[in-house]
């Protein structure tokens, strides 16, 4: 960063009783008020260089009670004025990109031009700004950031335009020609031995400026069409991480701070390039989560739902865990919002699948759909314990994905089982409706065995599982195990069965395998029969208990008759 020093005298300004004065043998004859600060200075050095003070000071000199001058509207306030005053006294001042903009604006306000005095402050500041500050990368960014406090004056003097043009020109420079210093703190970058200039080298530095300046720069860079949309998206991501609060912290903000961050969020969303993949799906979902906390406009939320839905296959379960509205503590998760995002994905999926495309593109779309289906199943496992989520919403999310999207139903089974466990009061109709989405044939062996012993599942689902287990047991577990143990293929087992049908003698090993298979089948049949009998007994017991309750209700009505109910036992 460049610096400029003017003057050679030591600093003799001091504060006494909330008044700023200068050590001098000459009594003060100039009183200036700026906001809450009072200055006791001297006309001699200040009027020689300040055209404004020449006009405001009266011709008569009254040392006993000098007329105060009010300068409350000076740009840059007390700090900028004091730099200008020290210049008039010849006191050493240090100028850099941090203070040159407010100082230049204050000097212009005081009319410290070349026409008032030769070698005045304004031409010196202009020369330093053009020769040093605007030509540097970080100096331009810092000066642009400093212009926020004196925006109107900076705009009129062309400072903002000069800094912005310099920044845009450097951003559009090819990375191989970047020779100036920049801020880049990505993890692992500093450890690379021969690191080249990254394409997004500029994104961190411009995240320090205000959203208005940032939007102007991004708009100009996009108009040039020299940078990939992904670089624009990366700049938006860095700026959002720097200037937007985490959602939990938004609840503790004042309305003014909320309005400021809401404006930043809505501006970022409006600047997202339209090209797919310019920003990540996870970043879009984070913006959507913050939009709910910051109470962004409905159009902003709708745009985020649409965009995040297009890239839903990039998300994780944590990205979909949207807390409910703070005013409604009864529902910890916003399931409806996830449904809207999923619907946005399905709209795009159906549209893409309806147009001609290559085989690779079609396979990529199918894989994307499978990832979304698995994501939804994992999401349902997370929200299953929420007592306020009805079974109909769970079913709607499951059915929103096409059948081919789930090659296996293990994750879906875990989600349904978790929901049934968290909602023991669920009636039989809802249980049956929810479990109808489960394809028992797509369950793995372990999941199927767990489901058969699961008392929370409806009877119809358990029966289906038992029949599937009985059908697959002879051909899958035992034959495959026998073939693997003997080091032979499944065809050997089939040949052995053919020999038995033709009456041909078999080896002792084959006889042993047959005996083991028969024992295994006997165990499977016994387990199926036992499970069916227990389920039947449970159903009969429930029916009897219901009849007893009905009889008791009628007895309480005054019938007085005693009814004996015979239970059926196994």
Percent of the chain with pLDDT over 90: 69
**Under DSSP, is residue 199 helix (H, G, I), strand (E, B) or coil?**
coil
b/e burial code for range 403-412 (CB count within 10 A of at least 16 → b): eebbeebbbb
For the record, the structure tokens of 510 come out as 């084959």
SS3 124: helix
Tokens of 451: 């489901």
At 173-203, the pLDDT tens digits run 999 999 999 999 888 777 776 678 999 999 9
Region label for 77, one of left (φ > 0), alpha (ψ between -120 and 50) or beta (otherwise): left
Q: Has residue 400 got a pLDDT over 90?
A: yes
Q: Give tens-digit pLDDT for 203-213.
A: 999 999 999 99
Predicted confidence band of residue 254 (pLDDT cuts 50, 70, 90): confident
Q: Decide: helix, strand or coil at residue 329.
A: coil
Across residues 562-569, what is the average pLDDT?
41
CA 320/CA 154 separation, integer angstroms:
44
**What DSSP assignment string belongs to 69-100?**
EE-TT-TTHHHHHHHHHHHHHTB-EEEETTTH
Confidence band, pLDDT 50/70/90 cuts, at residue 30? very high
Residue 235: CB atoms within 10 A of its CB come to 24
pLDDT at 113 over 90: yes
CA 296 to mean position of chain CA atoms: 15
Rounded to 5°, angle at Cα 8 from 6 and 13: 95
| Cβ neighbours around 119 below 10 Å, total | 9
Is 33 in a helix, a strand, or coil?
A: strand
Please name which of 120, 80, 116 lies closest in space to residue 98, comparing C-alpha atoms. Answer: 80
8 DSSP assignment? -
pLDDT at residue 442, rounded to an integer: 95
Whole-model pTM: value is 0.80
Task: In whole angstroms, give the CA distance from residue 478 to residue 484.
Answer: 10
């Amino acid at each position: 960063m460049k610096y400029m020093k003017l003057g050679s005298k030591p600093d003799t300004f001091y504060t006494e009783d909330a008044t700023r004065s200068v050590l001098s043998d000459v009594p003060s004859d100039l009183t200036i008020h700026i906001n809450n600060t009072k200055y006791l200075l001297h006309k001699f050095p200040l009027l020689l260089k300040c055209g404004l003070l020449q006009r405001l000071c009266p011709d008569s000199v009254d040392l006993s009670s000098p007329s105060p001058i009010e300068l409350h509207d000076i740009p840059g306030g007390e700090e900028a004025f004091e730099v200008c005053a020290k210049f008039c006294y010849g006191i050493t001042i240090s100028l850099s990109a941090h203070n040159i903009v407010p100082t230049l604006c204050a000097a212009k306000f005081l009319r410290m031009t070349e026409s008032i005095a030769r070698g005045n402050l304004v031409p010196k500041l202009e020369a330093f700004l053009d020769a040093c500050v605007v030509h540097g990368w970080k100096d331009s960014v810092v000066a642009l950031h400093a212009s926020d406090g004196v925006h109107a004056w900076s705009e009129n003097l062309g400072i903002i335009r000069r800094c912005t043009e310099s920044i845009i020109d450097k951003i559009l420079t090819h990375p191989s020609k970047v020779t100036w210093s920049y801020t880049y703190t990505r993890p692992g970058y500093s450890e690379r031995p021969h690191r080249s200039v990254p394409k997004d080298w500029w994104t961190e530095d411009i995240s320090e400026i205000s959203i208005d300046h940032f939007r102007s720069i991004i708009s100009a860079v996009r108009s040039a069409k020299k940078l990939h949309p992904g670089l624009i998206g990366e700049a938006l991501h860095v700026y959002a991480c720097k200037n937007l609060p985490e959602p939990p912290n938004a609840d503790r903000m004042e309305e003014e701070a909320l309005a400021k961050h809401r404006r930043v969020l809505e501006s970022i969303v409006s600047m997202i390039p339209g090209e797919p993949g310019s920003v990540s799906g996870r970043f879009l979902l984070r913006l959507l989560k913050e939009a709910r906390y910051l109470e962004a406009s409905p159009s902003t939320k709708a745009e985020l739902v649409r965009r995040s839905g297009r890239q839903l296959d990039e998300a994780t379960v944590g990205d979909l865990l949207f807390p409910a509205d703070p005013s409604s503590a009864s529902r910890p998760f916003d399931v409806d919002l996830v449904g809207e995002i999923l619907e946005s994905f399905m709209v795009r999926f159906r549209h893409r699948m309806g147009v001609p495309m290559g085989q690779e593109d079609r396979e990529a779309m199918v894989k994307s759909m499978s990832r979304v289906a698995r994501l939804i199943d994992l999401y349902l496992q997370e929200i299953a314990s929420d007592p306020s989520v009805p079974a109909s919403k769970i079913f709607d999310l499951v059915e929103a994905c096409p059948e081919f999207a789930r090659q296996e139903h293990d994750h879906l089974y875990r989600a349904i089982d978790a929901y049934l466990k968290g909602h023991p009061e669920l009636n039989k109709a809802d249980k049956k409706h929810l479990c109808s989405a489960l394809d028992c044939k797509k369950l793995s062996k372990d999941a199927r065995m767990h489901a058969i012993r699961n008392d929370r599942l409806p009877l119809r689902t358990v029966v289906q599982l038992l029949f599937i287990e009985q059908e697959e047991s002879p051909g899958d577990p035992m034959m495959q195990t026998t073939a693997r143990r003997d080091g032979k293929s499944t065809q050997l087992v089939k040949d052995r069965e053919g020999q038995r049908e033709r009456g041909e003698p078999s080896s002792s090993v084959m006889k042993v395998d047959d005996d083991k298979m028969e024992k295994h089948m006997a165990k499977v049949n016994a387990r199926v029969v036992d499970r069916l009998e227990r389920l039947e007994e449970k159903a009969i017991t429930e029916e009897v208990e219901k009849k007893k309750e009905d009889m008791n209700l009628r007895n309480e009505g005054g019938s007085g008759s005693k009814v004996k109910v015979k239970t059926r036992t196994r």
